[in-house]
Amino acid sequence: MVGTYRVLADVGFDGLTTQRVADAADCSQSLVHYHYDTKEDLVVAFLEWVREAEGDYLEGLGEGSAEDRLRAFVDLQLSIPRDDEHGWFNVAFLELQTAAARNDRYRDALREFTSMVDDVLVAVIEDGVETGEFRDVDPRATARFLRYALHGAVGATLTLHEDATEAVRAPVEAYLEGVVLAETD
Amino acid sequence: MVGTYRVLADVGFDGLTTQRVADAADCSQSLVHYHYDTKEDLVVAFLEWVREAEGDYLEGLGEGSAEDRLRAFVDLQLSIPRDDEHGWFNVAFLELQTAAARNDRYRDALREFTSMVDDVLVAVIEDGVETGEFRDVDPRATARFLRYALHGAVGATLTLHEDATEAVRAPVEAYLEGVVLAETD
DNA sequence: GTCTATACGCCGATAGAC
DNA sequence: GTCTATCGGCGTATAGAC
């Protein structure tokens, strides 16, 4: 699994081969097939393995107020670096998502990621609405809109090298203030 | 070029091979290489070819007021169908975008698409700001935020089969009313 | 321009020894 | 569990005839 992560970061999902995973794990290619019958099995197992780490990652939102946690989420998304191993792995993760369009098993596995994110966001927004920090927005719809916007920005940064993660900060702020956060004036 | 389009829609960028393009164009594989030295050349030429069609596509925004044209853009993006040839081609286009992360030539070609979209959107928003239909928002930042949000939603619909294009309509409307459109009350 | 034939490599997966 | 060896297939690209 660790080897798979490195290979994905190195050469992308497109370049993921059982031989490269074997090299990264310092074993023979056939041993990879001994543990995972097919390459598809390997990938699905990897996605389940990495999902647990993702859970911890989302814990990084901390405690604080609903507004703090929402802002922490935005920062977390927009702070994905472009040139280190983590960034390159995220590129591979985007490749995997497009592969999911034609592969049911990948799609099911990846949907659990997005629903995990949504659940966290929905909880934060519901909390904010209840305490009066936020306006009376639809938590689920707002969560998904925010997820899509940030995902789109991160994708453009990682793949097209747009300066999206910076450029989008102000508009996101405008959205939060104009639609989500309770008016303070 | 037409054959390439069909192949991409059929089997995706991952499944794009010179042999399949040859089959779709009803010629031999070597003839493809006669016209395009490498597969990469073929893809770059294809992207330039398809960009012209994209220009016409964006003309579909029509005339109308700035608000009408902005809404037309949103509808245009959110009405991409998931199961016809056009939808599958868009999936392949997403694959191509992720490939751009590791390929300079693809990246340059694709950036021209996004800057084309941005230019159209910026013009609409500038117009709206001038006429007073819109508030005094930053046209470029607003355009990109909107592009990212819609792109994220379309991507999730096409790849993960989320019902994003529907779910996002209300939040987008809330964004337009709460941030972009001039207050009418 | 268009073809057939082919070189050459890498892929996923399996067989079989240890 | 782990290895080496190997099969069959498909990928890009090229050579050379017409």
Per the model's pLDDT, the better-predicted residue between B53 and A78 turns out to be: A78
Query: Confidence class of residue A184 from pLDDT cuts 50, 70 and 90?
Result: confident
Per the model's pLDDT, the better-predicted residue between B7 and B61 turns out to be: B7
Per-residue pLDDT averaged across A71-84, rounded?
A: 94
Q: What is the pLDDT of residue B56?
A: 86
CB-based contact B96:A11 (threshold 8 Å) = no
Question: Per the CB < 8 Å rule, is A95 touching B97?
Answer: no
Number of domains in chain A: 1
Q: Is residue A11 a part of any domain in this protein?
A: no
Q: Tell me the sheet residues that pair with A134.
A: A181
Question: What are B111-132's pLDDT values in tens digits?
Answer: 999 999 999 999 999 999 999 9
Q: Tell me the sheet residues that pair with A181.
A: A134
Q: Is residue B34 a part of any domain in this protein?
A: no
Q: What is the pLDDT of residue B144?
A: 98
Instruction: Decide if pLDDT at A46 tops 80.
Output: yes
Question: Per the CB < 8 Å rule, is B168 touching A151?
Answer: no
Mean pLDDT of chain B: 96
Instruction: Decide if pLDDT at B44 tops 70.
Output: yes
Instruction: Decide if pLDDT at A60 tops 90.
Output: no
Provide the token pair at B179: 């941030």
Mean pLDDT of chain A: 96
CB-based contact B70:B122 (threshold 8 Å) = no
Burial of A174 (C-beta count, 10 Å sphere; 0-12/13-18/19+)? buried
Per-window interface: A 137-156 vs B, CB < 8 A:
137-138, 140-142, 144-145, 147-153, 155-156
Q: Which of A6-10, A61-65, B34-38 has the lowest mean pLDDT?
A: A61-65
CATH at residue A139 = 1.10.357.10
Q: Is residue B29 a part of any domain in this protein?
A: no
Instruction: Decide if pLDDT at A52 tops 70.
Output: yes
Give the integer Cα–Cα distance in Å for A18 and A35.
11
Give the integer Cα–Cα distance in Å for B25 and B44.
18
Per-residue pLDDT averaged across A165-183, rounded?
A: 97
Q: Which letter does DSSP use for residue A71 in this model?
A: H
Q: Is residue B119 a part of any domain in this protein?
A: yes
Instruction: Decide if pLDDT at B185 tops 70.
Output: no
- Residues from chain A that touch B174, judged by Cβ atoms under 8 A, are 137, 179
Query: Confidence class of residue A185 from pLDDT cuts 50, 70 and 90?
Result: low
Q: Is residue B12 a part of any domain in this protein?
A: no
Residue whose C-alpha is closest to residue B76's, from B124, B15, B38, B43: B124
Secondary structure class of A134 (helix, strand, coil): strand
Query: Confidence class of residue B87 from pLDDT cuts 50, 70 and 90?
Result: very high
Per-residue flag: A103 CB under 7 A of strand C: no
Q: Which of B11, B98, B105, B177 to mutate to test the interface with A (most CBs of A within 10 A)?
A: B98
User: Does pTM surpass 0.95?
Assistant: yes
Q: Find the domain containing A120 and state its range.
A: 39-180
Which residues from the 16-35 window of protein chain B have CB within 7 angstroms of nucleic acid chain D? 16-20, 29-30, 33
Per-residue pLDDT averaged across A148-168, rounded?
A: 98
Question: What are B47-67's pLDDT values in tens digits?
Answer: 999 999 888 888 888 889 999
CB contact B77 to A (< 8 Å)? no
Residue type, A132: G
Q: Is residue A78 a part of any domain in this protein?
A: yes
| Residue B34: nearest nucleotide (C-alpha to C1') | C1
Q: Is residue B31 a part of any domain in this protein?
A: no
Per-residue pLDDT averaged across B153-174, rounded?
A: 98
Per-residue pLDDT averaged across B151-180, rounded?
A: 98
